[in-house]
């Protein structure tokens, strides 16, 4: 196993011309026919380049040599696009490799003793002890203890995090450092299969598989190439019959300009760049299929706490019941929360101290009392002090406890609880013995801008569903404030699964986030399952993406990245097909104008000669690939909009632009080509 210091990350959205030069050696190596044959479009261009080169050597002329040179440039520039995209990933991987160093693990053997072994010798299921200052030797789960961990080498975040056994924050990543305390970790991955190793393989692009959409587009491009190849082959007998027999050089130039060379050259770079943008946002995708699925998602399942709201519910109001005064309620609420170390419990003590002048800390007498900590089973916390028994917790749990004491719960309690829930708050009932003292209001705040973001998603045709364990009244209030389309209250694992299946049966692709073992079935069922890095290994193995920053709101960014990938591919495909129109006007009149003078009317660019027209089209066909590499890497700018709006923008910008740009480009190149002696 190896360890990392924080690597230098390579910018995703910035394109530097220097990258062209540094990637040139890789582009030259890709001229190998064994590599070219993987891309049918570029293989035809490569074969045409070889053929034209042979004829140029056998019967040299300025025209044939120039066409041969620029056909090779076309193949080279196409390889350069892929090499530049891969080069950025390799730079990231190299920075990770340089930061590695060997580490040794303290493995627990059968008799309970420890042995020191290299991290690379660890196997799945091994238990290792990691103490303060030591590096965690492999990915796994904490099975004993609690510790603060520095994850900056993986996430880039300098603030330490808490990792503990028995919860949803038990997963640890190999290469991170324990800062305090001691933990026992059960190794969950084999050597070479850790998140760091998978990240390196991902950013290198070495194991990137073509996605279904990419495969479908490749088949379409191959079909178009075959059609145009047959058309060009059939053109020679017709040319011979009309007395305008064409050379192999001219026919090859026509074929290269007719087939969709541009998108064929950029297709791989677009896919690699899309994965790169995810990595730059600290999201590890297990496949390109998940990225594409994110672009087609039509339903988003979002957890309420920490995603839609800040998640740090705070006590904001004390509401006394019956004859109890606010001060009496404050005293009881403080006592019941002294043993509650949750953020909510601490906020209750702080509220009582701030607004009612009570002590924040426990007195010596209170420390000697019997504390009743909060548990998920009892859903209450409290204290037994000098015969006083004080409890606070969920309304139903406190109600049962009061009844067991022989007391009665006034109807006013239910009314206050319902009102707080309807207003989006969380009610906690406080009781002392048989008497209900009052209700504590906990408030969670919706993050700013969420309504706007959900509105943008709605405009894109994406349905948002909030998932929460809150009661239906609270869930409805938060849902209305945040602007989500639907909500699922009192959510259990089986409820999430049922909801995902119902959406999928309706033909929708579903994305969701999760971090706990109970989320694993739903993450596996979802088309895009984003597991939090702080979550359990079960959750991370079930999902097809892992967010190293553990930011649930990043799901929205992931969807935007997926859509940007699909939009970029569609835009450049539109541009590639549209710019062939200008090449027709350049080459076809040049080929037959001598036999059919009427075709000269189609020479609307008034190109100098047939040879200069054909060469100008070939040169433009090569240069446009280089010009579009930055756009393929950066991606088309994404704006949330509906399908009709995106299609209209595609046609206006890239369709019309694909028609106009070649006319201007070929005309300008012709002005330079005509200056070449012999042309």
Q: How far apart are CA 511 and CA 302, in angstroms?
A: 9
Which run of H or E residues covers position 564?
Answer: helix 554-578
Who's near 18: CB < 8 A, 6+ residues apart? none
DSSP line for 250-301: HHHHHHHHHS-HHHHHHHHHHHHHHHHHHHHTTEEES-HHHHHHHHH--EEE
Q: Which of 139, 150, 303, 444 is catalytic?
A: 303
Enter the tokens of residue 655: 């369709």
Helix axes of 40-58 and 261-280: crossing angle, nearest 10 degrees? 130
Q: Is 280 annotated as a binding residue?
A: no
Sheet holding 426-432, edge to edge: 314-320, 435-443, 426-432, 388-393, 380-385, 370-372
Contact 392, 337 (CB under 8 A): yes
Contact 539, 619 (CB under 8 A): no
DSSP line for 431-451: EETTEEEEEEEEE--BPTTHH
Partners of residue 546 on adjacent β-strands: 284, 531
Q: Is 375 annotated as a binding residue?
A: yes
Q: How far is CA 37 from the centre of its chain?
A: 31
Who's near 81: CB < 8 A, 6+ residues apart? 265, 266, 268, 269, 625, 628, 629, 632
Contact 338, 383 (CB under 8 A): yes
List Cα–Cα distances, 15 to 86, 297, 634, in angstroms: 13, 29, 7
**Phi, psi values for residue 490, rounded to 5°:** 50, 45
Q: Is 376 annotated as a binding residue?
A: yes
Q: Is 181 annotated as a binding residue?
A: no
Enter the tokens of residue 672: 């330079």
Q: How far apart are CA 177 and CA 147, in angstroms?
A: 10
Which run of H or E residues covers position 162?
Answer: strand 161-164
Length of the chain equals 679
Q: How far apart are CA 163 and CA 116, in angstroms?
A: 23
Q: Is 519 annotated as a binding residue?
A: yes
Q: How far apart are CA 444 and CA 481, in angstroms?
A: 12
Q: How far is CA 90 from the centre of its chain?
A: 19
Q: How far apart are CA 425 and CA 234, in angstroms?
A: 75
Partners of residue 488 on adjacent β-strands: 467
Q: Is 344 annotated as a binding residue?
A: yes
Q: Is 392 annotated as a binding residue?
A: yes
Choose among 611, 619, 18, 673: nearest CA to 261: 619
- Is 303 assigned a catalytic role? yes
Q: How far apart are CA 60 and CA 78, in angstroms?
A: 26
Q: Is 374 annotated as a binding residue?
A: yes
Query: Burial code of 56-82, b = ≥16 C-beta within 10 A, e = fewer?
Result: beeeeeebbbbbbbbbbbbbbbbbbbb
Q: Is 139 annotated as a binding residue?
A: no
Q: Is 380 annotated as a binding residue?
A: yes
As annotated, the active-site residues are 303
Q: Residues forming the annotated binding site for Mg(2+)?
A: 515, 519
Q: Residues forming the annotated binding site for ATP?
A: 340, 344, 374-381, 392
């Amino acid at each position: 196993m190896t360890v990392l210091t924080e690597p230098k990350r390579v910018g995703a959205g910035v394109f530097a011309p220097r990258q062209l030069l540094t990637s040139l050696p890789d582009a030259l190596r890709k001229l190998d026919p064994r590599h070219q044959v993987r891309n049918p479009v570029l293989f035809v261009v490569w074969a045409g380049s070889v053929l034209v080169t042979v004829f140029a050597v056998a019967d040299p002329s300025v025209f044939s040599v120039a066409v041969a040179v620029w056909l090779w440039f076309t193949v080279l520039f196409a390889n350069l696009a892929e090499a530049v995209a891969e080069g950025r990933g390799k730079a990231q991987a190299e920075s990770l490799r340089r930061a590695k160093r060997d580490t040794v693990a303290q493995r627990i053997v059968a008799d309970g003793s420890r042995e020191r072994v290299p991290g690379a010798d660890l196997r799945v299921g091994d238990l290792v002890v990691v103490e303060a200052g030591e590096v965690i030797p492999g990915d796994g789960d904490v099975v004993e203890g609690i510790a603060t961990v520095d994850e900056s080498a993986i996430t880039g975040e300098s603030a330490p995090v808490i990792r503990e056994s028995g919860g949803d924050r038990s997963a640890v990543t190999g290469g991170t450092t324990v800062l305090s305390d001691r933990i026992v970790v059960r190794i969950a991955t084999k050597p070479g299969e850790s998140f760091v190793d998978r990240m390196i393989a991902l950013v290198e692009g070495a194991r990137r598989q073509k996605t279904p959409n990419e495969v479908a587009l490749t088949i379409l491009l191959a079909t178009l190439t075959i059609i145009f190849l047959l058309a060009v082959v059939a053109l020679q007998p017709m040319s011979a019959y009309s007395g305008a027999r064409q050379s192999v050089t001219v026919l090859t130039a026509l074929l290269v300009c007719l087939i969709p060379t541009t998108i064929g050259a950029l297709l791989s770079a677009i896919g690699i760049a899309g994965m790169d943008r995810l990595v730059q946002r600290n999201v590890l995708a297990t496949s390109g299929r998940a990225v594409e699925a994110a672009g087609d998602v039509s339903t988003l399942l979002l957890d309420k706490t920490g995603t839609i709201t800040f998640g740090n519910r705070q006590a904001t109001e004390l509401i006394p019941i019956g004859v109890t005064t606010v001060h009496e309620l404050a005293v009881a609420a403080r006592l019941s929360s002294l043993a509650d170390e949750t953020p909510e419990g601490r906020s209750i003590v702080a509220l009582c101290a701030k607004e009612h002048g009570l002590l924040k800390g426990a007195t010596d007498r209170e420390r000697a009392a019997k504390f009743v900590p909060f548990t998920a089973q009892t859903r209450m916390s409290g204290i037994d002090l000098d015969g006083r028994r004080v409890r606070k917790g969920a309304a139903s749990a406190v109600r049962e406890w009061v009844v067991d004491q022989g007391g009665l719960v006034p109807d006013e309690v239910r009314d206050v609880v319902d009102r707080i829930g309807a207003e989006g708050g969380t009610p906690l009932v406080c009781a002392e013995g048989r008497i209900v003292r009052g209700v504590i209001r906990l408030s969670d705040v919706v993050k700013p801008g969420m309504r706007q973001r959900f509105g943008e998603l709605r405009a894109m045709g994406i349905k948002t569903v909030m998932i929460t364990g809150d009661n239906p009244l609270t869930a409805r209030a938060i849902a209305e404030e945040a602007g989500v389309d639907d909500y699922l209250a009192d959510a259990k694992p089986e409820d999430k699964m049922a909801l995902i299946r119902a959406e999928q049966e309706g033909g929708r692709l579903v994305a969701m986030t999760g971090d706990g073992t109970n989320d694993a079935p739903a993450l596996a069922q979802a088309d895009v399952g984003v597991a939090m890095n702080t979550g359990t290994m079960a959750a991370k193995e079930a999902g097809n993406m892992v967010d190293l920053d553990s930011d649930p709101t990043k799901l929205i960014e992931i969807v935007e990245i997926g859509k940007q990938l699909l939009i970029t591919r569609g835009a450049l495909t539109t541009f590639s097909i549209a710019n062939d129109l200008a090449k027709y006007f350049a080459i076809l009149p040049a080929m037959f104008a001598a036999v059919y003078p009427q075709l000269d009317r189609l020479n609307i660019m008034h190109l100098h000669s047939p040879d200069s027209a054909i060469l100008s089209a070939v040169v433009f066909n090569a240069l446009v690939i280089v010009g579009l590499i930055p756009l393929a890497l950066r991606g088309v700018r994404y704006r949330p909009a509906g399908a009709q709006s995106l299609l209209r923008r595609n046609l206006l910008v890239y369709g019309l632009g694909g028609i106009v740009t070649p006319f201007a480009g070929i005309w300008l190149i012709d002005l330079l080509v005509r200056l070449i002696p012999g042309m």
